[in-house]
Amino acid sequence: MTSAQETAVAGEKNAPNQSMPNADYTATAHKARVQDKVATGILAAIVGVIIVALVAIIVYILASGASKLVDVHFLTAKPEQFKAGGGIGPELFNSFYLLVLTLLISVPISLGAAIFLTQYAPQGRITNIAKTAIETLSSLPSIVVGLFGMLTFVLTLHWGFSILSGALALTMFNIPILVRVIQQALEAVPRDQRDAALALGLTRWEATMHVLVPAAMPAIVTGVVLSAGRVFGEAAALIYTAGQSAPVLSWSAPIWSLSNPLNVFRPAETLAVHIWKINSEGVVPDLSAVSAGTAAVLMVCILAFDIIARVAGRALERKLTAE
Amino acid sequence: MTDTTKLTSSTVQNPVLHTHDVTVDYSGKRALNETSLSFESGTVTALIGPSGCGKSTFLRCINLMNREIPGCVVGGKIVYHDINVNTKGIDTLWLRKRVGMVFQQPNPFRKSIYENVAFALKSHGMTKKEELDERVEKSLRAAALWDEVKDKLRDSAYALSGGQQQRLCIARTLALQPDVVLMDEPCSALDPIATFAIEETISSIARNGICVVIVTHNMEQATRVSNKTAFFYLGHMVEFGDTAQIFGAPKDQRLNDYLNGRFG
């Protein structure tokens, strides 16, 4: 007999002799236990449904595009307008190029804004206004961001459908999220870290840059990479800014040519925009295969971002705290 | 009360630091009434009293850390080496380099053990590696930590135990060669053995001529480590004197009640 059983038996024997637990009490306790079990069951069922649905979507997308996913020709060739066998080479490059540019612009700005809001801005009116603005901006539909980008960058500034217009639209879309993530990361650093730095006669700037930001780095990296996944899959904000055409790219073209991959003034269709475009106005015979393949590639990239975010965040955390 | 303060102040020999009618208000609410105390080199002064009595608030005035709290106003004079530092123009960076602080919770930076000590030195302009190495070793020795960490200086400070982390924080403070070290309940998060090690360290710091001011909840600790004791109650500095007198022959009734466990 295990000790647990012994206790149970002893409990049963003793129960009638004790003054407090009467029939009512036992009934209530029983009811509470049943309630607990039912609640646990319902919650588990809900989570189960969510997981099954998500996994089914992922598996479906990956399975539909599996053959294209490992097809080097598909991953590197240029898309076709009218016949089958087109690839997504330029789109794949454009997606990464736009992502890198967007992060290069949005990370420093967001970091600066978050540092100002958490460390320098007087708590109260300014921070409240900024908070409201950031929340409003982050819930703005991305198509609105896209149309604003078209009016401002494409038409008013005459940059046309270009990578630069697209990157700036994505920056607007990305900044509110990044500011929030970085702000939370900085606020999560214990206050005594900052006090310790200030008490050693360091300036607020030194305390922020050498103590707070490094301590918040794991959370910041995780946040940035996760936001990268969102940016990478964004279509609506790009349709009217980076455009829907992908010029044939050539590394030997001069930088001012629309064929040079790095020219930020060329139009650049991304993977997500490509999916939207071929499904709405594509005429290629292998339309559904191209669409499924592109979706699978997009999905794999975003999954990779997600995994990188976790691994990098955890590795940094371990390095900092030696746990 | 005022008489006691004046009496003890006049007996002080070489105050490195003294406060004159220091008051603290948080958003208009008074947290500390006029407090005048003197602190000498090479002595340990304990600040005791029940929670919320203003002892930590007073401690945080000395290195102007209260200025980091929005809405906090410090009045009166805080005189460090004949300079009133409670003025607008004072260089807080200079003051805090000279007046170090150790906090309640061990709070090493999320850096290596070496960097924890060397970091502030670098930012105060020490760049030569030999100089840094030497100062780091000296500081860690002064905090009685060197032998335990000399082989793992590049490890994260968080690999250390709580007591070791607190001694690292002391070493970090000593590295800047302050002549005043403020300690805010430095042992309250530690076990008795770690506490004993910290108390040894405090005594040896004072023997080296540094003025130590320590806030403590633990009255045995006050009797063990301090030469002078100040008792705070409800935002007033009630009695200040030699530790032996404070604990052996308290003059104020409130102090007497506190020592006898009638409150707090």
Q: Report the gap between the CA of A199 and the closest CA in chain B (Å).
A: 6
3-state secondary structure of B37: coil
Structure confidence at residue B44 (pLDDT):
95
How far is CA A116 from each of CA A99, A113, A126, A185, A204, rounded to the nearest angstrom?
A: 25, 5, 11, 14, 11
Q: Report the gap between the CA of A137 and the closest CA in chain B (Å).
A: 29
Contact (CB<8Å) B119/A210:
yes
Query: Of A139, A223, A232, which is closest to residue A181 (Cα–Cα)?
Result: A223
Contact (CB<8Å) B156/A195:
no
Q: Report the gap between the CA of A214 and the closest CA in chain B (Å).
A: 8
The count of other CB atoms within 10 Å of the CB of residue A197 is 24
Cβ-proximal residues to A112 (8 Å cutoff; 6+ apart), any chain: none
Q: What are the 10-residue block averages of pLDDT along chain B, 264 residues in total?
A: 40 75 91 93 93 90 90 92 90 92 92 92 90 94 91 90 93 94 92 91 92 92 94 93 92 91 73
DSSP class of residue A287 equals H
Contact between A251 and A261 under an 8 Å Cβ cutoff? The reply is yes
Q: Report the gap between the CA of A128 and the closest CA in chain B (Å).
A: 16
Q: Residues 4-43, chain A: which have Cβ within 8 Å of B?
A: none
In chain B, which residues have their Cβ closer than 8 Å to the Cβ of A196? 103, 107-109, 169, 172
CA dist., res. B18 & res. B78, Å (int) = 6
Q: Report the gap between the CA of A200 and the closest CA in chain B (Å).
A: 6
Six token digits for residue B7? 């009496």
Give the position of tokens 């003793």: A14
- Domain residue limits at A168: 65-321
Using CB atoms within 10 A of its CB, is residue B186 exposed (0-12), middle (13-18) or buried (19+)?
buried
Helix then strand count (H, E) for chain B reads: 11, 11
Report yes or no on A42 lying in a domain: no
Amino acid at the residue A58: I
Amino acid at the residue A259: S
Report yes or no on A316 lying in a domain: yes
pLDDT average, residue stretch A161-182:
93
CA dist., res. A239 & res. B233, Å (int) = 69
Amino acid at the residue B231: F
Cβ-proximal residues to B202 (8 Å cutoff; 6+ apart), any chain: B44, B183, B186, B212, B214, B225
Cβ-proximal residues to A211 (8 Å cutoff; 6+ apart), any chain: A189, A193, A194, A196, A197, A202, B109, B110
Report yes or no on A270 lying in a domain: yes
DSSP class of residue B126 equals -
In chain A, which residues have their Cβ closer than 8 Å to the Cβ of B109? 193, 196-197, 211, 215
Report yes or no on A137 lying in a domain: yes
Task: Give the domain CATH number at A126.
Answer: 1.10.3720.10
Angle between helices A271-281 and A287-321 (to 10 degrees): 160
Q: Report the gap between the CA of B96 and the closest CA in chain A (Å).
A: 5
Report yes or no on A8 lying in a domain: no
Q: Measure CB to CB from residue B105 to each of A192, A206, A321 and give the nearest one.
A: A192
Q: How many domains does chain A have?
A: 1
Six token digits for residue A292? 């499924």
Q: How confident is the model at residue A21 (pLDDT cuts 50, 70, 90)?
A: low
| ipTM of model | 0.87
In chain A, which residues have their Cβ closer than 8 Å to the Cβ of B94? 201
Beta bridge partner(s), residue B242: B228
Report yes or no on A183 lying in a domain: yes
pLDDT average, residue stretch A13-38:
74
In chain B, which residues have their Cβ closer than 8 Å to the Cβ of A123? 70
Contact (CB<8Å) A200/B110:
no
Q: Across chain A, what does the average pLDDT equal?
A: 86
- Residues of B in CB contact (< 8 Å) with A are 63, 65, 68, 70, 92-97, 100-101, 103, 105, 107-111, 119-120, 123-124, 155-159, 169, 172-173, 176
Write the pLDDT tens digit of every residue in A181-231: 999 999 999 988 999 999 999 999 999 988 999 889 989 998 998 899 889
DSSP class of residue B156 equals B
Write the pLDDT tens digit of every residue in A63-111: 998 888 888 888 888 888 888 888 888 899 999 999 999 999 999 999 9
Q: Measure CB to CB from residue A199 to each of B65, B108, B156 and give the nearest one.
A: B65
Contact (CB<8Å) A201/B173:
no
Q: Is the pTM of this model over 0.90?
A: no
Contact between B193 and B223 under an 8 Å Cβ cutoff? The reply is no
Report yes or no on A128 lying in a domain: yes
First to last CA, chain B: 20
Report yes or no on A54 lying in a domain: no
CA dist., res. B74 & res. B57, Å (int) = 10
Contact (CB<8Å) A210/B123:
yes
Cα B154 to chain center, whole Å? 28
